[in-house]
Amino acid sequence: MTTEQHPLEVYRRFQSYLLNGEFARVGEVADVDGYTENCVGLTGWTTGLQVALRNFQEHIASRLTDMAVTEHDVVEAGDMLVIRGTFEVTHSGQFLGVAPTGRRVCFDWIDMYRITEGRIVWRFLLCDWKGLLDKLTVAA
């Protein structure tokens, strides 16, 4: 990993590893011990990559499966990266108190990262949980 990599390149590798279940490789692009994140509305602040990966697997990936990511806006500024996009997922497990519906739904998110020496050290993820909940609970 070189320090010349742009934050967007680091982020895209990070997302690829997460979405493809290559969790052992995430440490290539994230600070294993110092990584700090907040998935607002789900986890609060956590420190340590292994804690964050466990939270992702237990609270999101095992319940919202077949995740597809679309980036709509990307802003890079120094060591910071902000991305606005959508997730398209299948509701496969209980999520936000709603039993699995099997529905394929899309919801918005904004993800912010700080990259230091080619590794993600900080992440702040905002998802439209209310919009997702509305889609999961609307009558079919």
What residue ranges do the domains of the chain occupy? 7-137
Res. 2 pLDDT band, cuts 50 70 90: very low
Helix, strand or coil, per DSSP, at residue 41: coil
Write phi, then psi, for 35 (nearest 5 degrees): -55, 130
pLDDT at position 4, please? 60
* Tens of pLDDT, residues 62-87: 999 999 999 999 999 999 999 999 99
Q: End-to-end distance of the chain based on CA atoms, in angstroms?
A: 48
Mean of pLDDT values over 126-130: 95
Average pLDDT, whole number, for the chain? 91
Instruction: Please report the beta strands in the chain, taking only residues with DSSP state E, as ranges in sequence order.
Output: 36-39, 44-47, 64-77, 80-91, 104-116, 119-127
Q: Looking at residue 3, what is its pLDDT? A: 44
Cβ atoms of residues 91 and 63 within 8 Å: yes
The reported pTM is 0.84
Q: What mean pLDDT do residues 100-116 have?
A: 96
pLDDT digits (tens, 9 = 90+) for 29-55: 999 899 999 888 888 888 998 898 888
| CATH number for the domain formed by residue range(s) 7-137 | 3.10.450.50
